[in-house]
Amino acid sequence: MKLNPIILFVLIGLADIALYITKPFGENFYIIADILPVLNSSLFFLFAFLAYKPYGFNSIQGKSLFFMFLGALSWFLGEATWFLYELNGIMSPNISIADFFWILGYPFFIIGLFNLFKISKSKITTTKIVFSTTITLFITIFTYILIEFSYKNITLVEEILILSYVFLDALLLIKTFIVVSNIRKSEFFKPWSIILLSFSLILIADIIYYNIVEIYETGEWIDLLWILSYLSLGYGFYYHLKTTRKIIKS
């Protein structure tokens, strides 16, 4: 009897939540807490690659999915690098190699979304540019105000890094929202809506994290937002692959 992939994703998500509720191994739970993002982000880049594979790089759809896959791979490498830091007891610097991989993922995602935008045949109007820029700056400034009111004991480098992540999260979210709104009648509306929801979770998680950073320890409940966002991104690209196969068969 084959296990329905949707049920499998749900079971993985429930297992992630159960681990955070029970926190096995006590004070050594941080090892599990560090490896879960690696495992869940591996599903993200795996299904992003599988979603790309039927198209190849010659089509616009293929180019879009290829760059999304590169972004997913970069985030996986960021999580894997962070895991190695923690496993070896290395104190991560203000800007680590993991940050390099995480930030590197954003331009890949933006390029992928730009190619998808071309597929939707929607013009890049001044209104859309102003709207996306305004919302992105608003979210970034809002986070900056929260940081200033929450604590003062961070370096300038840390503050810049905080705002960079939030700015890039917001930019990615708004660009994805515009693309999704342009493909409402497409078969791919549902998978990209799931991806949009996942990016929303990442933005929320980053804003919350940077307001509790001074008291944060690996294994806090906030980690679940990142872990589940990776899982839902994996499901979004699985859904995309499923939709592609359905179109090819019809």
Per-residue b/e over 23-35, b at no fewer than 16 CB within 10 Å?
A: eeeeeebbebbbe
Q: How many domains does the chain have?
A: 1
Q: Are 46 and 9 in contact (CB under 8 A)?
A: no
Q: What is 86-102 written as a DSSP string?
A: HHTTPPPPSS-HHHHHH
- What averages of pLDDT result for each successive group of 10 residues across the chain (250 residues)? 75 91 83 90 94 87 92 96 78 74 94 79 58 63 58 68 84 84 82 91 85 72 91 94 85
Query: How confident is the model at residue 80, as a pLDDT?
Result: 93
Domain that includes residue 138, residue range: 5-249
